[in-house]
A and B are shown apart, each in its own frame.
Chain A
Amino acid sequence: NAGVMQNPRHLVRRRGQEARLRCSPMKGHSHVYWYRQLPEEGLKFMVYLQKENIIDESGMPKERFSAEFPKEGPSILRIQQVVRGDSAAYFCASSLGQGPNIQYFGAGTRLSVL
C-alpha cells in the first residue's frame, strides 16, 4: 500500500496518560502535515514537518503537544497528559513538496480520552 499510513486507527487513553500517533507518508513524499478534526468541526492545521525539521508549528497548542519526523521512521505526534478535550480525529497528510501542494491524507487516528 503506497498511501499515507497512520496507526493506530483508534486509541483510547485515560486522562493524564500519553498518546503517540504515528504517520508514514506516501512513498516519495518528504513533507508531512498533521491536522485535527473535532466533532462536527472542520480540519484544523497543527504542524508541518520535513525530515528532521519542524517547518511550521503555528497550529500546535503551546503545551503538551509535540511532533517529530526523524530521519528514519514515521512522523510522531505526541500528546502528554491528555485531557477530554483532546478527543478528536487526528489526520496526517503528505505531499511531494514540488508543484501544486496537493496533500494526500491517511485514514486518521481517532483518540478517545476517558
Chain B
Amino acid sequence: RKEVEQDPGPFNVPEGATVAFNCTYSNSASQSFFWYRQDCRKEPKLLMSVYSSGNEDGRFTAQLNRASQYISLLIRDSKLSDSATYLCVVNRNSGNTPLVFGKGTRLSVIA
C-alpha cells in the first residue's frame, strides 16, 4: 500500500463548480498534513495546512479524519486559475521529518 494515495484524475469541471479531492495515508504516526498545489513544470506551493478541526481559507476547505486516515480538499466556485495538480502531503512522523507526497490529482477548470 502506498504511503499517500490520491485519485490521479483528471477532474474536468466548469467554472463555478464545486469539486472535492480525497486522499488516504497509511502511516498512523503522521502528525502534519498539507495540501500543496503544483502547476505544470513548477515547484509545489503550499495551499493550506490541514487540521483535525477542519479549516477554511476562502473558497478552499480542508478536512482531516485521523481515525480513517483520510484527508479531503473542497474547492468552491472554481476559477480557471485553479487548474493545477493538487498534492496531498503528510509528514513521515512528528517533528522535522521529510514530507511524503501523493502523486497528485489533476484539475482542469473549463470556461
A residues apposed to B, CB below 8 Å = 31, 33, 35, 41-45, 48, 55-56, 59, 89, 91, 93, 95, 97, 100-108, 110
Once the chains bind, are B43 and A101 in contact (CB under 8 Å)? no
Interface residues of A, dominant DSSP: strand
User: How big is chain B's contact interface, by range?
Assistant: 20 to 34
Question: A42-B104, A56-B97 known; A102 and B43 CB under 8 Å?
Answer: no
Complex-state Cα separation, A109 to B111, whole angstroms: 33
| Residues of B contacting A108 in the complex (Cβ-Cβ under 8 angstroms) | 42-43
Complex-state Cα separation, A105 to B44, whole angstroms: 6
Complex-state Cα separation, A44 to B98, whole angstroms: 9
B66 at the interface (CB under 8 A from A): no
Complex-state Cα separation, A23 to B108, whole angstroms: 32
| Residues from 28 to 84 in B contacting A, C-beta threshold 8 Å | 32, 34, 41-46, 49
